[in-house]
């Protein structure tokens, strides 16, 4: 079996490649085809544990949309930024120290054979491989060392879609300029232009699509209306609500209604106007430090009725939510000591301590757990030494070997806001170098953290209002969500599979008839 390949390229980062790739995965899977996603190189601190190690979260979700089992071949190269000029390199699921130390441009020849073999294997096992590019394929300064865009497209003989974000302005210039900068063999692979995030009457676009086709020979095959709440987690950064979004969101159809394009209703979070009327309304703040990781695990909180999720970056933003703030979360971090230093520069260390001192509920996940302790000790130069926030009597030592695994564990006795989790078994995943244990000196003095899970997976403060755990995915586990937010089982949260179905419905409604099938026919 040799798969046909469909590739999604973008004129810029953020044009919509990831979600469109996810939608195509589900569309082709619904046709009864065996489908796999692929992205040669991803740069993201959002990663998931799969067979063989870790891959970017976007490819993990794309695999689920394709009804495939995620594995490391779907994202053979993952770059995890630790600083502005340094990234940890993960090759086929495992950290590669030699590649991490190697200059950027020198990696291409070393990694391309691995990328090509992974893609060839997926093509041999599937009917369709849906490939996602990265950034823009017309970055002419990177063309000679390209391993993620047109080199992949040529290797796979892929039918390419070029998508642009029309909401940014200059969409037709972006499309034409990208096409014009590509060599003729690469231009020949582009089968259609896609206008994404359009607001208004599509008839007003004329005559631009036809003029563009006259210049390039390539048709515009879809105009996708702006869709604020498609339900997929953000891959590249923190999603902040804007006044425009709030206004748009309150105008969306009621939960359960079918919008005009024919798919299921977007998942709608509780609008601010409904806050006072909702008896179980809770505000949860997540600190958005520069090297935040695995932020996609908070996406389910945006879909829980009665929960408002806010990102905070300063003491002023935190103070603006308090009183009234129910939980404060310190999320994962790809550079724990660096993000701790950032917290101190912002003054958020004192703000977090003050909130906890007043009895506020503080949750630390992975790197957030490490920050809550007394100290970070780094004998191998993995992350850096630093004093912690001192809210849990723990110490973290960074080890050379990285823990990457799926985990199932049961909460022991827990107190305060976490009491509903007692005896609940949850599933998630671990990705961390640090190993955390009781601080020996404080333990001798009688200050002991309470184990909340076996094996050092979770710890709770003696007062019960501070909880730290290594387990990612708590809010993706249905049992945990029900225990924390819906103990009576009255407010079911829409499933991820429903999100995939909605994405497929959406593109089937807005692509020109027959285009998606024609992409599978050799040119």
Point out the residues that are catalytic. Answer: 366, 472
Tell me how far CA of residue 67 lies from CA of 23, 60, 138, 303, 513, in angstroms.
Answer: 12, 11, 32, 23, 24
Q: What is the dihedral of CA 510, 511, 513, 519, to 10 degrees?
A: -160
Backbone angles phi, psi at 402, to 5 degrees: -100, 130
- For 193, the 3-state DSSP assignment is strand
- The rounded distance, in Å, linking the Cα atoms of 266 and 252 is 8
**DSSP summary character for residue 49:** E
| Beta-strand runs (E) in 327-393 | 327-330, 332-333, 361-365, 375-377, 386-387
Q: CB atoms < 10 A from the CB of 374, how many? A: 18
- The rounded distance, in Å, linking the Cα atoms of 121 and 454 is 39
Burial of 287 (0-12, 13-18, 19+ CB in 10 A): buried
| Beta-strand runs (E) in 348-424 | 361-365, 375-377, 386-387, 394-410
**DSSP summary character for residue 332:** E
Tell me how far CA of residue 232 lies from CA of 19, 23, 35, in angstroms.
Answer: 7, 10, 19
Q: What angle do CA 130, 134, 135 make, to 5 degrees?
A: 140
DSSP letters for 121-172: HHHHH-SEEEEE--S-TT-TTTGGG-SSSHHHHHHHT-EEEEEEEGGGS-HH
- The rounded distance, in Å, linking the Cα atoms of 411 and 390 is 23
């Amino acid at each position: 079996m040799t798969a046909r390949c469909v590739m999604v390229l973008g004129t810029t980062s953020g044009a919509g490649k990831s979600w469109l790739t996810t939608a195509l995965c589900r569309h082709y899977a619904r046709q009864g085809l065996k489908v796999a996603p692929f992205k040669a190189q991803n740069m993201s601190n959002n990663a998931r544990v799969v067979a063989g190690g870790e891959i970017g979260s976007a490819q993990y979700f794309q695999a689920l949309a394709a009804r495939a089992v995620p594995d490391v071949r779907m994202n053979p190269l993952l770059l995890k930024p630790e600083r502005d000029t340094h990234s940890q390199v993960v090759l086929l699921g495992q950290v590669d120290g030699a590649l991490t130390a190697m200059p950027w441009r020198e990696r291409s020849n070393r990694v391309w054979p691995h990328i090509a073999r992974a893609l060839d294997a997926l093509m041999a096992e599937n009917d369709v491989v849906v490939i996602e590019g990265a950034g823009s394929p017309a970055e002419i300064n990177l063309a000679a060392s390209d391993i993620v865009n047109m080199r992949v497209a040529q290797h796979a003989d892929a039918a390419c879609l070029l998508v642009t974000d029309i909401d940014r302005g200059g969409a037709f210039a972006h499309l034409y300029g990208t096409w014009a900068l590509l060599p003729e063999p690469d231009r020949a692979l582009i089968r259609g232009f896609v206008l994404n995030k359009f607001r208004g009457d599509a008839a007003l676009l004329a005559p631009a699509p036809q003029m563009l086709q006259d210049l390039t020979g390539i048709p515009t095959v879809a105009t996708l209306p702006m869709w604020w709440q498609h339900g997929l987690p953000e891959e590249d950064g923190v999603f902040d609500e804007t006044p425009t979004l709030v206004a748009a969101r309150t105008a969306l159809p009621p939960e359960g209604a079918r919008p005009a394009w024919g798919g299921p209703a977007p998942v709608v979070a509780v609008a601010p106007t409904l806050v006072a009327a909702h008896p179980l309304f809770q505000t949860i703040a997540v600190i958005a430090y520069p090297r935040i990781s695995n932020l996609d695990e908070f996406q389910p909180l945006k879909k829980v009725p009665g929960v408002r999720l806010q990102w905070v970056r300063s003491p002023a933003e935190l103070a603006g939510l308090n009183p009234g703030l129910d939980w404060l979360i310190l999320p994962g971090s790809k550079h724990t000591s660096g993000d701790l230093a950032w917290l101190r520069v912002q003054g958020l260390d004192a703000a977090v301590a003050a909130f906890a001192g007043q009895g506020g509920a503080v949750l630390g996940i992975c790197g957030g757990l490490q920050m809550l302790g007394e100290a970070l000790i780094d004998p191998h130069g993995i992350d850096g030494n630093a004093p912690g926030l001192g809210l849990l009597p723990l110490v973290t030592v960074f080890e050379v070997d990285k823990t990457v695994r799926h985990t199932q564990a049961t909460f022991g006795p827990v107190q305060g806001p976490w009491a509903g989790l007692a005896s609940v078994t949850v599933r998630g995943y671990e990705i961390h170098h640090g190993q955390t244990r009781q601080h020996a000196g404080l333990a001798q003095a009688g200050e002991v953290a309470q184990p909340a899970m076996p094996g050092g997976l979770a710890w709770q403060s003696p007062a019960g209002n501070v909880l730290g755990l290594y387990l990612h995915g708590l809010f993706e586990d249905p049992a945990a969500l029900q225990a924390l937010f819906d103990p009576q089982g009255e407010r079911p949260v829409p499933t991820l599979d429903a999100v995939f179905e909605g994405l497929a419905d959406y593109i089937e409604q807005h692509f020109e008839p027959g285009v998606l099938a024609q992409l599978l026919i050799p040119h």
